[in-house]
Structure 1
Amino acid sequence: MIALVIPIAMTLFAIAALLNLYRLAAGPDIVDRILALDTLMINSIALIVLADIRTGLDVLFELALLIALMGFVGTVAMSKYLLRGDVIE
């Protein structure tokens, strides 16, 4: 059962990532682009975790954690820049 579900989930997350790339390129304003980038990070984390479950290795979970950390810091920095015009006070 899990051998059938994981490829389907990976395909759906890959389609979602492609749609996020479209929104990132054609977003009407910068806020939509920031949200698309944040959602793209979440989809890439999901793809990495699913690939790790499929292969059975435990190495890719650390990569997913690093991407999650960098995505969070990047989203906070971009949002702070939009609100205040400066990242570091």
Structure 2
Amino acid sequence: MTAGWIDAVLPWVAGVFVLALLLSAWRLLRGPSLPDRILALDTLYINALALLVVLGMLLRSSLYFEVAMLIGLLGFVGTVVLSKFLLRGDVIE
């Protein structure tokens, strides 16, 4: 009984994450300042990560979880690099 409920809710959850991805992409393209765009990029990769986890649950495939871990690692490093560039003007000291 519980598995049927989860299978009915997961497509709605995926739709909400797609909407969140679209809104984050809009802020990334439109954002008035560079910190707003960096924050939008950070939100974009977190929403993509969550969408991949939901798709992995929906399709019952572990490949999506591995891709989500890779996106999480690259997104974190990218956010740190962009923030360092914003504060200091260079990435490598």
TM-score past 0.5 threshold: yes
Query: 1:16 aligns to what?
Result: 20
Structure 1 unaligned segments of length 5 or more: list them: none
User: For the residues of structure 1 that align with 2:64 and 2:24, how far apart are their CA atoms?
Assistant: 22
Whole-angstrom distance in 2 between the partners of 1:60 and 1:25: 27
Report the residue type matching 2:83 in the other structure.
S
Identify unmatched segments of 5+ residues in structure 2: none
- Identity, in percent, stands at 53
Equivalent-residue separation in structure 2 for 1:2 and 1:51 (angstroms): 12
User: AA paired with 2:7?
Assistant: A
Mapped partners of 2:70, 2:24: distance in 1? 20
1:14 offset after TM fit, Å? 0.3
Q: TM-score, normalised by structure 2?
A: 0.93
Which of 68, 72, 78 is the equivalent residue of 2:72? 68
Runs of 4+, deviation exceeding 3 Å: none
What's the CA shift for 1:80?
A: 0.1
Match of 1:79 in 2: 83
* TM-score calculated relative to the size of structure 1: 0.97
C-alpha deviations, 1:10-43, integer Å up to 9, x for none?
0000001000011001000000000000000000
Superposed, 1:52-63 pairs within 5 Å as 52-63=56-67
